[in-house]
Amino acid sequence: MKNSIDYIIVGFGIAGAILSYKLWKLNKSFIIYDAPAKASASSISSGLINPITGRRFVKSWHFERLLPKLRETYSSIELDLNIKILETKDIHRSLFDVKDENLWDSISLNEPDFCTTDRYDLSKWKEVVSHKKRMGTIKAYRINVQLLIESLKEMYKSCFFSESFEHHKIDIQAAKVEYKGMYAEKVVFCEGHYVKENPFFSDLPMEPVKGEVLYVRIPNFRPESILKDKVYLVPVGNEVFWIGSTYEWENLDNQPTKEKRAYICGVLDKLLNVEYEILDHKAGVRPSTKERQPIVSIHPKHSQLVAFNGLGTKGASLAPYFADQLIELIS
């Protein structure tokens, strides 16, 4: 391996993965550091790309701008790596009361490309859901984040270091950096919520949010679509469902808790009229920001250091568009 490259990428969640792919397409050279001991949010993301979100059913921020970019990026990865990661998915959303129904009727009238009211009748979910509430259907997307990251990691294995990047070992020189004998024009930090440990970017306006998920099996039940009640029920294959998630602004570690497990089970017990088996329970921390917007930032004193962060609850939608913005900024 040569000892002079364009970039060092630190962190290989969806931010680092998408950025590296785009740099690879531009024939840029790089090495990647990713710390196995620092569990990523990406490893438990369900990869939903949901155009209509929140209790008030609002259109996701800049969705029209993000959609073409994410489609183009994920389709290109599918072709280059010969994998299938992007799929369209209906989300059937419980409407809890008349206020919800009225809001839904209004948004589905204004956003016919993303919402319909008449598809739930076709859904298999009716077989297992106890309640008889109305449902709204959102035309959404889902990517397989874990397959995407593992496949890119495999492709980059000759330039991938499964170890923690040690910030204090960077030697910042005029117009480049040196790290463990390697010279690079820039280091791009894609560290998710661990950026608080980065002495160069510890003051980014982060407001991380912990989330917990259960993986459950519902025997003999294989719907195509997703259900959203108080939690999402996302089929991930073989009768297994990703169920989540929760939101917690304190105790920001990767440890699953009894309280959140009880909460999710409580929702499932009320919602489903069939048995389910819990297979796993996981937690992670979303790299959210105070302004709820992504961060693409050059260090004010050292232009060789760059941060790509703040993907919050929407890494799958935001990473493709904002990786391009970052590349434009640093090229």
Q: Which residues bind ligand FAD (CB under 6 A)?
A: 10-16, 33-35, 38, 40-42, 44-48, 164-165, 190-192, 194, 211, 213, 244-245, 284, 286-287, 309, 311-317
3-state secondary structure of 11: coil
**Min dist. Cβ of residue 37 to ligand FAD (A):** 7
Compute the distance between CA of residue 75 and CA of residue 78 in angstroms, rounded to an integer. Answer: 5
User: Please, which residue, 131 or 290, has the CB nearer to ligand FAD?
Assistant: 290
Q: Cα torsion for 68, 292, 164, 17, to the nearest 10°?
A: 0
**Min dist. Cβ of residue 14 to ligand FAD (A):** 4
User: Please, which residue, 223 or 312, has the CB nearer to ligand FAD?
Assistant: 312
Q: Which residue is nearest to ligand FAD (CB)?
A: 13
Q: Cα torsion for 17, 22, 26, 29, to the nearest 10°?
A: -20
Strands (E), the chain: 4-10, 30-33, 48-49, 52-53, 58-59, 86-94, 115-116, 135-143, 160-161, 171-173, 176-179, 182-189, 209-217, 226-228, 232-237, 240-244, 277-286, 295-298, 305-309
User: Please, which residue, 35 or 159, has the CB nearer to ligand FAD?
Assistant: 35
The answer for residues whose C-beta is within 8 angstroms of residue 215's C-beta and 6 or more apart is 236, 240, 241, 242, 243, 278, 279, 280, 281, 282
**Min dist. Cβ of residue 190 to ligand FAD (A):** 5
**Min dist. Cβ of residue 167 to ligand FAD (A):** 7
User: Please, which residue, 235 or 312, has the CB nearer to ligand FAD?
Assistant: 312
User: Please, which residue, 312 or 320, has the CB nearer to ligand FAD?
Assistant: 312
User: Please, which residue, 223 or 287, has the CB nearer to ligand FAD?
Assistant: 287
Q: What is the DSSP letter of 60?
A: P
**Min dist. Cβ of residue 178 to ligand FAD (A):** 17
> What one-letter code names the amino acid at 80?
D
**Min dist. Cβ of residue 188 to ligand FAD (A):** 11
